[in-house]
Amino acid sequence: MAITCLSYLGVNSEHSEDWLDFATKILGMQVTEKCKNSYSFRMDNQKQRLSVNYEKDSYKFFIGLEVDSLNDLESYAERLERAGVLVYQGGPNIASRRFVESLIYFHDPQNNRIELVYKPMLDETTFVPGRPILGFKTDVLGMGHVVLQTDNLAVLLPFYRDLLGFCVSDFTLTPVTAYFLHINNRHHSFALINTGKTGLHHFMVEYNHLDDVGQGYDLLECKENSIAYTLGRHTNDYMTSFYTYSPSGFLVEVGWGGRIIDPRNWVPKEMDIGPSFWGHERLHLPDELRRKFRKKRLETAAIGMKSPPIINCPWLYS
Ligand SMILES: [Fe+2]
């Protein structure tokens, strides 16, 4: 029994027209379903990777995680209920809106809505990107990654690690505490960051071509205050990326070149360098915290830390 990948993300937003522009023209997703206040977006042959709806006084977002079988859904439901978590069976109506055969849903200890899904529907038509990109790195690796922020890591980490079975890839203790967790060969599909707030911190989409990241960066640089982290490269997953603001206010990481790991041999460790080899100036942070990140980054550069060379690089070309 295991969760195999991040299947989709859903956002509850009254800014659905802004999301339409952002998801297609900036990120390069394909819009496939349009109803009143509701959009579905594709990133590959899966019918839905991003869903934007507006439901007043409802959830803020939901995270869809895929499992291998109907038995897995039952086993997870039993395990969660034994731990005192209220688990709901998703009926045919929700399943059709999520474009999956079956699902259960529940909330983590900080009321973030999680959905476990079996058999997402595929679309037989070719993916047509919203801007001319060479596609997203998805398939068995899933949609990308999601990062939750929290003011209580001690309650969220055991929920995801011990109850849902996510595995720690690595963690940082300064300038902020953050845990990065894997569920497949992607270095992390999920992370928790202790910002003192709760909710969605960011989601990440990964492109097949670095130039699609750069061309997205150019599109945003034309708009005032649209870059949250400048272009940079992370020390743990080697992702070359920048961060921008979604129409809902949380961040979106736009990346390329993320690390592929072998979970069977992986040993979790503390990352005391980084979190970036270079770049990722955090323009959105207050000055003092921003300075702490910059100092640590310059110390990382001063000792010559770099990602592995691209030639014969196992995390990119395996
Ligand atoms: Fe990220």
Å from CA of 35 to ligand 1 middle: 30
Q: Is 22 exposed, middle or buried (0-12, 13-18, 19+ CB in 10 A)?
A: buried
H, E, C per residue of 173-193 = CCCCCEEEEECCCECCCEEEE
Query: Which of 5, 6, 15 shows the shortest CA–CA distance to 245?
Result: 15
pLDDT at 33: 84
The string of pLDDT tens digits covering residues 3-59 is 999 999 999 999 999 999 999 999 999 999 888 889 999 999 999 999 999 988 889
The CA R_g of the chain, rounded to the nearest whole Å, is 19
- 294 pLDDT more than 90: yes
Å from CA of 84 to ligand 1 middle: 30
**Please, what is the average pLDDT of the chain?**
96
Asked if the structure places residue 105 within a domain, the reply is: yes
- The Cα–Cα gap between 122 and 133 comes to 20
- 315 pLDDT more than 80: no
Å from CA of 242 to ligand 1 middle: 9
- The Cα–Cα gap between 271 and 53 comes to 37
Asked if the structure places residue 86 within a domain, the reply is: yes
Strands (E), 173-264: 178-182, 190-194, 199-207, 227-234, 240-245, 251-256
Asked if the structure places residue 128 within a domain, the reply is: no
**For residue 169, which phi and psi values (nearest 5 degrees)?**
-90, -55
Tokens of 209: 């071509």
- 317 pLDDT more than 70: no
- The Cα–Cα gap between 290 and 286 comes to 6
3-state DSSP helix/strand/coil percent for the chain, to nearest 5? 25, 35, 40
Contact 95, 103 (CB under 8 A): yes
Asked if the structure places residue 58 within a domain, the reply is: yes
Tokens of 111: 């009321």
- The Cα–Cα gap between 216 and 92 comes to 38
pLDDT at 222: 87
The string of pLDDT tens digits covering residues 178-220 is 999 999 999 999 999 999 999 999 999 999 999 999 999 999 9
Asked if the structure places residue 127 within a domain, the reply is: no
Asked if the structure places residue 146 within a domain, the reply is: yes
Question: pLDDT band for position 313 (50/70/90)?
Answer: low
Å from CA of 70 to ligand 1 middle: 30
Å from CA of 68 to ligand 1 middle: 25
Å from CA of 125 to ligand 1 middle: 30
Mean pLDDT to the nearest integer, 258-273: 96
- The Cα–Cα gap between 240 and 58 comes to 35
Å from CA of 91 to ligand 1 middle: 32
Å from CA of 296 to ligand 1 middle: 18
Find how far residue 123's CA is from the centre of its chain.
22
Host H or E run for residue 125: none
Mean pLDDT to the nearest integer, 79-104: 97
- 1 pLDDT more than 80: no
Question: pLDDT band for position 311 (50/70/90)?
Answer: confident
In DSSP terms, which residues pair with 167 in a beta bridge?
182
Asked if the structure places residue 141 within a domain, the reply is: yes
Mean pLDDT to the nearest integer, 134-155: 98
Indicate which CATH number applies to the domain containing 25: 3.10.180.10
Q: The whole model's pTM is what?
A: 0.96
Å from CA of 267 to ligand 1 middle: 20
Å from CA of 191 to ligand 1 middle: 8
Strands (E), the chain: 3-12, 30-35, 38-42, 50-53, 61-67, 88-90, 100-107, 113-120, 145-150, 167-172, 178-182, 190-194, 199-207, 227-234, 240-245, 251-256, 269-270, 276-279
Contact 60, 199 (CB under 8 A): yes
Asked if the structure places residue 147 within a domain, the reply is: yes
Count: domains in the chain: 1
Question: pLDDT band for position 309 (50/70/90)?
Answer: confident
Give the range of the structural domain holding residue 27, as residue numbers without chain letter. Answer: 3-122+133-317
The string of pLDDT tens digits covering residues 235-255 is 999 999 999 999 999 999 999
Å from CA of 80 to ligand 1 middle: 27
> In the chain, pLDDT over 70 holds for what percent of residues?
98
Å from CA of 101 to ligand 1 middle: 29
Say how many C-beta atoms besides its own lie within 10 A of residue 75's C-beta.
14
Å from CA of 182 to ligand 1 middle: 13
Question: pLDDT band for position 318 (50/70/90)?
Answer: low
Å from CA of 287 to ligand 1 middle: 21
Find how far residue 69's CA is from the centre of its chain.
23
Å from CA of 216 to ligand 1 middle: 16
Å from CA of 224 to ligand 1 middle: 22
Å from CA of 238 to ligand 1 middle: 11
Å from CA of 176 to ligand 1 middle: 14
Contact 272, 223 (CB under 8 A): no
